[in-house]
Amino acid sequence: MNRLHLHSLRPLVAMAFALILLAIPVTVHAQDPDFSTDDPLEGQWELSRVTDLVLYQTHSADSNTKSEILNYYLETEDSKVVTQTAKTILTAPCWLAGQREPQITRAARFFALPNDVAITMAPSANAGNPDCASTNSDSNMGLYIVDTKTNAAPIWVHFFASAKQTAMAMADFNQDGLEDLFILNDTQAFVATATDVYSPTAGMTFGQRMELGSTTLA
């Protein structure tokens, strides 16, 4: 009789033990996205993580005839800024007098790398005064891709565009789990995406341009 009673209790004991195991918290370790799938972020379109800071600034040079394009990289540790590095992207031979300079820098996961890269939109070496327009039929603007982890030279992607009233936002337009760029100026709007997400040296590909009316940005 006692053996039958103990035998009948075994399933209850096993169930109680299983419930105890379920109650024990499980540590989940961070993992890199699986870029071999169509949705590497599994529906999570924002990566939340401790990040470093990138600031950008344009300095005038040669009596306001040239633009020195700089990025400032502030590395963080223990919720504090521990180092600051200033890097000159280029010195463009033009300066927009009396208005905001066209330089804009964005840092994000544009490529399938283990780290973010910084992309700076700025006039190219072919831009000239007074409006940073092309002076020799070559592209007057450029996207400059900088991988600060490898400290390699910037990758230049040149294009024609107005340098006035520029703006640049980030979003995932092609839903590959990586950021793309939305570029705006006083006459056009268009999107730039990675040509090859596994190769920053392949640069960016520009989408169809939408012509705009008169645009005024703050």
What local confidence, expressed as pLDDT, does residue 161 receive?
A: 96
| Segment (H or E) for 35 | none
What local confidence, expressed as pLDDT, does residue 28 receive?
A: 45
What local confidence, expressed as pLDDT, does residue 149 receive?
A: 82
Neighbours of 23 (CB within 10 A): 7
This prediction's pTM: 0.73
Give the separation between CA 140 and CA 92, rounded to whole angstroms.
10
Instruction: Map residue 107 onto helix, strand or coil.
Output: strand
What local confidence, expressed as pLDDT, does residue 151 receive?
A: 75
Instruction: Map residue 3 onto helix, strand or coil.
Output: helix
What local confidence, expressed as pLDDT, does residue 44 receive?
A: 54
List the chain residues with pLDDT less than 50.
1-2, 4, 6, 22, 26-29, 46-50, 218
| Segment (H or E) for 40 | none
Please state whether the peptide bond connecting residue 11 to the residue before it is cis, i.e. omega within 30 degrees of 0: no
Give the separation between CA 67 and CA 83, rounded to whole angstroms.
25
What local confidence, expressed as pLDDT, does residue 166 receive?
A: 95
